[in-house]
Amino acid sequence: MRKLALNDDILMRVEKPARYIGNEFNSVIKDKAEIGLRFALCFPDVYEIGMSHLGIQILYSMFNEWEDVWCERVYSPWMDLDQIMRKEKIPLFCLESQEPVKNMDFLGITIQYEMCYTNILQVLDLSQIPFFSRDRGEDMPIVIGGGPCVYNPEPIADFFDLFYVGEGETQYRRLFDWYLENKHNGGTRQDFLHGAAKIPGIYVPQFYEELYREDGTISSRRKMYEDIPDKILKEIVTDVNEAHYPLKPVVPFIKVTQDRVVLEIQRGCIRGCRFCQAGQIYRPVRERSADKLKDYALEMLKNTGHEEISLSSLSSSDYSQLNELLDFLMKECRDKHVNISLPSLRIDAFSLDVMSKVQDVKKSSLTFAPEAGSQRLRDVINKGLTEEVILKGAALAFEGGWTRVKLYFMLGLPTETEEDILGIGDLSNKIAAVFYETVPKDKRVNGRVQIVASTSFFIPKPFTPFQWAPMCTAKEFLNKAHLARQGIMSQLNQKSIKYNWHEADVSVLEGVLARGDRRVARVILKAYEKGCMFDSWSETFHNDLWLESFSQCGVDIGFYTTRERADDEIFPWDFLDCGVTKEFLLREWKKAKGQTISPNCKAQCQGCGANRFGVGICYEEG
C-alpha cells in the first residue's frame, strides 16, 4: 500500500484530509522504474477548486497516456496544513506517489486567475524550490506555466522557467522529447531552456529583457540569443474532433465545485464582447461534432459514475448542433437517472423548453448577463443583448413558471455615466414589472418575483479592445456601487430586487496584476512574504498587506490601473501573439468609444486576424 506523505496525526488535525491523500478512482499510479519523465501538474488553489478544472483533466489524461510519462496532481494546501508543513518542514508532495514535488522533472502550474499569484509562491516555497528561475540548480524541476494568465506572464515571469502559450494538446510531446534527449546527452538546464525556446508556443522569460522609458512605459525588449523568436505565437488545436479528450477523469471523494461530467462542446466565442479576454484569446471558434460528444458523454458517465453532466463553452447557444445534442442527452439521461446541468443559455423558447424538462422550475433561477444597464453602454461593450430580448425572454420564463431571475452587470466600464448605472435599477424594475403583468395574482408562486442584480467591477485585460482603458479607483468603484444601489432602492418594485456587489480592493489589485510588467514581481513576492495567500478568498485577502508591499517596493498602483494608455504604447504582453492583431483591437477600442457595435463572427468577419490559423468559423460557409 502507498505510504502517505502526511502522518495520521496530521491528517486527523486538518480540515478535509481527503484533499491530501490521492487514491481517487481513475487517478493514475505507475511503476516509477519504467518512467522517463515525471510531471507534477498543479492548480494553485484548494483541491475542490483545482479538481473542477477541465484543462487539468485534459493534460493529466494525455500525459498519462504516454508510457514514459507519469503525471501527478498537486493543489495548494489549505492554511491549516500550510502552517503544519512549514513548522515541520514537510516538503509539498504529489497526490499520486505522495513523493516530494522537488523530485519531479517538471512542475507545471495552470494559471487561471491573477489572484492565485501568491499561491504559486506558496507552492514553490513549500516544495522547497527557489522562487526565482535564475536561482534553480540542475536538480530542480523545470517550472512551466500555462493557462489564460500566460497571455500576460510578465508580473510572474521571474518565477517561471518556461511558459506554454496557448492550447496544451499540441506541443508537450515535443517539449518532453527534447527534455529526455537533452538529459540523455548530458545537457544542462540552460541547454534545455535554450532548445525549448525554439519550440512553437514556448516562452523562456529569462532570455528576454524589458527596457523602460523615463515615464515608466516600455521602450523595447531585448533577447539573449539570436536564434530564439521575437514574437511567440499561441498554440492551437486545429482539429478539435481529433484532440485528446479525458474519457476517464479523476473522480474525487469529497464534493468539489464541478462534480460532474463536463463536455467541452466548442472552443472560442463568436461574440466579441469588448471586455472579454476569453472571447479574443481562444479564437477562432471550433466546434466539436455532436456525434463525438454523444460518444464521450456515454463513455464518461460509465467511467466515472457521475450523476450529472454539463456542457462547457463560452456561449453554448451559439453551438450549431445544440438541439441535437440536448435531445440526445435528455433521452439518455432520463433512463440513467443523470441530471443535466445547463450552462447559461440564451433565454428563448427552445432553451426554456429544455430547461423546464431537465430542471425543477420552482427551484432553479434564470440568468441574464446584460453587463450594462443601458443600451448605449451595451453598444460600447458590444454586448448584443437588447432590452427587448431580455424582457421577452423574461416574459416567456415567467409564463413557464420561473420566479427567480439573476442579472449580472459590470460597473466602471469605459465611458460609463450616472445614467448607465441608474439603468441597472430601471432594467431590474422592468423585469419585475413584466412578472406582475404576465402572471395573474392567483398563479404567483410565493406571491412575488425574486430578482438578484449583481455587479462586479470592470478590470481591463490584455488582448481585449479595452486593454487601453483606464480603470477606476477603489473609491470610484464603491461610489458607483452606492449609486447602483440607490437606483434600485428608488424603484417601484424594489422589494422584489436584491442587490449584491463585489469587493473593490481585490478588483484593483487584479487590475494591477492583469496589466502589470516585470516590476510587479517583487511586490507579489513582498506580499507573499508578509503572509498573503489565497487572495481570491475574501476571508484570507489582506488588502493592507498588499498596499504596504506596493509602497515598500516603490511601485505605483495608478500607473497600472487608472492611467489611460496611448494608442501606440508598447504593452508588456505585445511580444505574444494570440492570433488577434493589435490593429484589430485598436479598431475595436475606437469603435467602442464611438458606441458602434461589431457584428459577430457568424454574421460578418471583422478581420481580427485569427483566420491565419486556417481553421474554424473563419472558413465555414455563412
Chain residues binding other proteins by CB under 8 A are 1-2, 4, 7-9, 11-12, 17-18, 21-25, 251, 253-255, 301-307, 336-337, 339, 360
The distance of Cα 250 from the centroid of its chain, to the nearest Å, equals 20
Nearer to other proteins, 32 or 302 (CB): 302
Give whole-number Cα distances, 603 to 271, 318, 378, 455, in Å.
10, 12, 18, 30
Nearer to other proteins, 336 or 590 (CB): 336
Nearer to other proteins, 249 or 370 (CB): 249
Shortest separation between residue 474's beta carbon and other proteins, angstroms: 40
Q: How many CA atoms lie within 13 A of 259 on its CB side?
A: 9
Nearer to other proteins, 35 or 251 (CB): 251
Q: Count other C-beta atoms under 10 Å from residue 613's C-beta.
A: 18
* Distance, CA of 527 to CA of 546 (rounded, Å): 5
Q: Could you tell me which residues come within 8 angstroms of residue 539 by beta carbon, excluding any fewer than 6 positions away? A: none
Residue 144: phi, psi to the nearest 5? -120, 140
Identify the CA nearest to 461 among candidates 376, 326, 554, 571: 571
Shortest separation between residue 21's beta carbon and other proteins, angstroms: 4
Task: Pinpoint the alpha helices (H) of 197-241.
Answer: none
155, 513 in Cβ contact below 8 A?
yes
520, 513 in Cβ contact below 8 A?
yes
* Distance, CA of 435 to CA of 430 (rounded, Å): 9
Shortest separation between residue 335's beta carbon and other proteins, angstroms: 11
Nearer to other proteins, 173 or 334 (CB): 334
Shortest separation between residue 294's beta carbon and other proteins, angstroms: 18
DSSP label of 12 = H
Shortest separation between residue 338's beta carbon and other proteins, angstroms: 9
Nearer to other proteins, 11 or 586 (CB): 11
Nearer to other proteins, 25 or 619 (CB): 25
* Distance, CA of 486 to CA of 496 (rounded, Å): 15
Residue 345: phi, psi to the nearest 5? -100, 155
Nearer to other proteins, 24 or 348 (CB): 24
The distance of Cα 220 from the centroid of its chain, to the nearest Å, equals 29
Nearer to other proteins, 4 or 278 (CB): 4
| Strand 497-501 to 576-577 pairing | unpaired
Shortest separation between residue 259's beta carbon and other proteins, angstroms: 9
Cell of 11: 491528517
* Distance, CA of 494 to CA of 492 (rounded, Å): 6
Shortest separation between residue 4's beta carbon and other proteins, angstroms: 6
Shortest separation between residue 24's beta carbon and other proteins, angstroms: 7
Nearer to other proteins, 305 or 447 (CB): 305
Please give the sequence-ordered ranges of beta strands (E in DSSP) within 321-403, or none if there are none: 339-341, 366-371
Shortest separation between residue 350's beta carbon and other proteins, angstroms: 22
Shortest separation between residue 25's beta carbon and other proteins, angstroms: 5
User: Which residue has cell 486538518?
Assistant: 14
